[in-house]
């Protein structure tokens, strides 16, 4: 087993990456501007949040879950690093990991994550771990300088005016990890202040669109591994190849997905396959970004996706979902996998971010932005509001962060955040944005329709006996989040009754002669809602703008598959009175 101190250090490092994931995505221009370095590192290293496994099993799980160029290189580094048994063995373990990372890359380049590993090897030789603990600051300062240098090492980074996302990802991983190993408390948001000027793309930066696919494949090879890698180098570019027993874990960029599948199948059996469309990713990444009059932060417990949050410039503070032994921030969870597992009876639980992760998130946004509006999930549901207010009292003497206890969750919270972020992009007056957000809290409405009660029982929200008889009697409750908890708004027995109830609420609460916005929230039933419900809503309410949004997964983890919801708000709700 990995010892307790190393377990704690690995978890601290992982939480650092989670906090910085959106920033890493925002500056990810190399080797392809696809904006996924943060996502890939979070998914790859997710096992580190609860790393109670042997080093070998931990390494294998990281390897098999590795995503993207950065995730696969980090996985190979950690395969060597996990040999660390004490502070004395840290320099050798880092050097072993560095060498293994280089061996995995077909064409290593300076100015990447590999340069950070080089710097870590060098600085640990100059500053070996010792009792005074002064070595930690010296090492971290050298790593910061190495990250800053990446801007000049790669033309793509210099053109964009940013540091390398992979190198920065490893910096925010090793900062808390090394401090934890030395039993020190790291200065919060240290990297945000020092690197602030290189965490946004240059205003005039623009890159070409890319075609092809980013592939992550586990291949069971039927020939010598080195020979197979030589053939695979002809399949695509940016190859990272990691041997694991009689398998190869591969990452590559291929222009033709089906041709790549055929070529790889000729070399062995494909055990697993995941892909990203580079054209879609780079097109989204190249969209121009606007400045906000006040930065919006909210909790991921609102039904707002990472893509929507990134397009509006919203910072999300995640809670976590644990599915069997996999623990991920909720906006990184594969919803189809979650709902399929729930239908099969898998154990699912939710948990909040640690105090350290919350604090780092608050510190980081306050270093990066002049004013921040934190639209907090209702204090009844989590401890985030209390934690934020405590942090503000200790660290915000200039009153630059405004915190609102919305009393909301799910679609209510997501819709409040969306309209506030849109106003922050359109208005130069932060007080207008805050006033609009407070009005939205008063006016927003939501109805969530549950399919089965068994999932509430599985999460401890009601008795298993009550859930059993409720499902036998086809009881389908309708609930809505309020400041004092989820209130039951009604009970029906069929899906058709749910639909009738939904339209009665819309007829009662939405004015037909005014533009309004609505989140139509889905779990594993998007196709049905998009095919049958969305067109009917748009037909009856022609001025209503309907957006399909995934139901907050921390809510859905308790409500279960088959759930769906409506959250809505008149577009000019802040002007005059309304029925809503």
Give pLDDT tens digits for 313-331: 999 999 999 998 789 999 9
DSSP string, 556-569: HHHH-TT-EEEEEE
Q: Is the dihedral of CA 289, 290, 291, 295 positive or negative?
A: negative
CA distance 371 to 309: 18
Structure tokens given for 378 = 């209702």
Q: Which of 254-258, 414-418, 435-439, 473-477 has the lowest mean pLDDT?
A: 473-477
pLDDT of residue 242: 86
Q: So what's the pLDDT on residue 580?
A: 44
Type and span of the H or E element at 365:
helix 355-368
List phi, psi (to 5°) of 463.
-70, 150
Mean pLDDT score of the chain, rounded to an integer?
A: 90
Tell me the average pLDDT across 142-150. 97
pTM of the model: 0.91
Q: Is the pLDDT of residue 473 over 60?
A: no
Instruction: Please tell me whether residue 579 adopts helix, strand or coil conformation.
Output: coil
Task: Collapse the DSSP code of 81 into the 3-class scheme (helix H, G, I; strand E, B; otherwise coil) and give the result.
Answer: helix
257 pLDDT higher than 60: yes
Q: Looking at the predicted structure, is the pLDDT value of residue 398 above 80?
A: yes
Lateral strand order in the sheet of 476-482: 485-492, 476-482, 445-449, 564-570, 516-522, 544-550
Which domains does the chain show, CATH number per domain? Answer: 4-198 (1.25.40.340), 213-283 (3.30.70.2730), 286-441 (3.40.50.10170), 445-570 (3.30.1180.10)
pLDDT reported for residue 475: 78
**Lowest mean per-residue pLDDT among 30-39, 185-194, 463-472:** 463-472
Q: What average pLDDT does range 335-349 have in this prediction?
A: 92
The radius of gyration of the chain's CA atoms, rounded to the nearest angstrom, is 25
Exposed (0-12), middle (13-18) or buried (19+): which is 165, by Cβ within 10 Å? buried
Q: What is the pLDDT of residue 579?
A: 46
Residue 261 tokens, joined:
């599948």
Residue 187 pLDDT > 90: no
Structure confidence by residue, pLDDT tens digits, 15-65: 999 999 999 999 999 999 999 999 999 999 999 987 777 888 889 999 999
Name the nearest CA neighbour of 240 among 74, 37, 48, 36.
74
Quote the pLDDT of residue 575: 59
- DSSP per residue over 278-341, as a string? HHHHHHHHTS-----SSEEEEETTBS--HHHHHHHT-EEE--EEEETTEEEEGGGS-HHHHHHH
């Amino acid at each position: 087993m990995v010892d307790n101190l190393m377990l704690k250090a690995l978890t601290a490092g992982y939480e650092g990456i989670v906090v910085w994931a959106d920033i890493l995505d925002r500056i990810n221009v190399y080797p392809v501007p696809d904006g996924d370095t943060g996502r890939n590192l979070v998914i790859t290293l997710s096992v580190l949040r609860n790393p109670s496994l042997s080093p070998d099993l931990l390494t294998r799980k990281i390897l098999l879950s590795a995503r993207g160029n950065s995730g696969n290189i980090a996985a190979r580094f950690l395969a060597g690093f996990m040999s660390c048994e004490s502070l004395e063995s840290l320099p050798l373990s880092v050097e072993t990991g560095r060498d293994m990372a280089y061996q995995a890359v077909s064409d290593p380049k300076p100015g990447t994550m590999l340069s950070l590993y080089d710097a870590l090897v060098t600085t640990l030789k100059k500053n070996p771990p010792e009792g005074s603990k002064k070595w930690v600051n010296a090492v971290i300062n050298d790593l910061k300088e190495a990250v800053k240098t990446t801007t000049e090492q790669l033309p793509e980074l210099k053109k964009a005016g940013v540091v390398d996302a992979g190198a920065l990802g490893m910096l925010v991983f090793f900062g808390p990890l090394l401090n934890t190993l030395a039993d020190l408390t790291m200065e919060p948001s240290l990297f945000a202040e020092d690197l602030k000027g290189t965490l946004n793309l240059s205003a005039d930066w623009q890159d070409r669109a890319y075609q092809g696919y980013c592939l992550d494949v586990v291949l069971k090879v039927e020939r010598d591994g080195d020979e197979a890698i030589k053939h695979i180098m002809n399949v695509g570019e940016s190859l990272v190849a990691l041997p694991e027993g009689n398998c190869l874990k591969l990452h590559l960029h291929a222009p033709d997905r089906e041709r790549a599948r055929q070529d790889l199948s000729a070399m062995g059996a494909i055990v697993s396959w995941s892909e990203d469309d580079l054209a879609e990713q780079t097109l989204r990444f190249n969209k121009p970004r606007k400045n906000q009059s006040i930065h919006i932060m909210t909790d991921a417990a609102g039904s707002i996706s990472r893509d929507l949050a990134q397009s509006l410039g919203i910072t999300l503070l995640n809670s976590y979902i644990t599915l069997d032994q996999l623990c991920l921030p909720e906006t990184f969870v594969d919803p189809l996998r979650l709902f399929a597992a729930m239908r099969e009876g898998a154990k699912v639980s939710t948990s909040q971010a640690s105090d350290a992760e919350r604090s780092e998130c608050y510190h980081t946004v306050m270093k990066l932005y002049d004013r921040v509006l934190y639209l907090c999930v209702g204090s009844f549901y989590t401890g985030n509001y209390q934690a934020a207010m405590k942090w503000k009292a200790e660290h915000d003497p200039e009153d630059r962060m405004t915190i609102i206890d919305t009393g909301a969750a799910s679609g209510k919270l997501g819709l409040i955040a969306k309209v506030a972020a849109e106003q922050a992009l359109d208005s130069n007056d932060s007080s207008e944005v805050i006033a609009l957000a407070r009005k939205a809290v008063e006016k927003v409405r939501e109805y969530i329709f549950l399919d089965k009660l068994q999932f509430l029982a599985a999460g401890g929200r009601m008795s298993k006996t009550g859930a059993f008889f409720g499902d036998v009697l086809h009881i389908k409750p309708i609930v809505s989040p309020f400041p004092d908890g989820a209130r039951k708004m009604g009970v029906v027995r069929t899906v058709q009754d749910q639909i009738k109830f939904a339209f009665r609420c819309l007829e009662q609460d939405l004015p037909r002669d005014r533009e309004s916005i609505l989140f139509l929230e889905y779990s594993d039933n998007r196709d049905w809602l998009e095919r049958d419900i969305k067109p009917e809503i748009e037909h009856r309410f022609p001025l209503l703008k309907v957006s399909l949004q995934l139901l907050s997964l921390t809510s859905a983890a308790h409500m279960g598959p088959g759930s769906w919801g409506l959250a809505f708000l008149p577009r000019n709700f802040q002007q005059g009175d309304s029925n809503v």
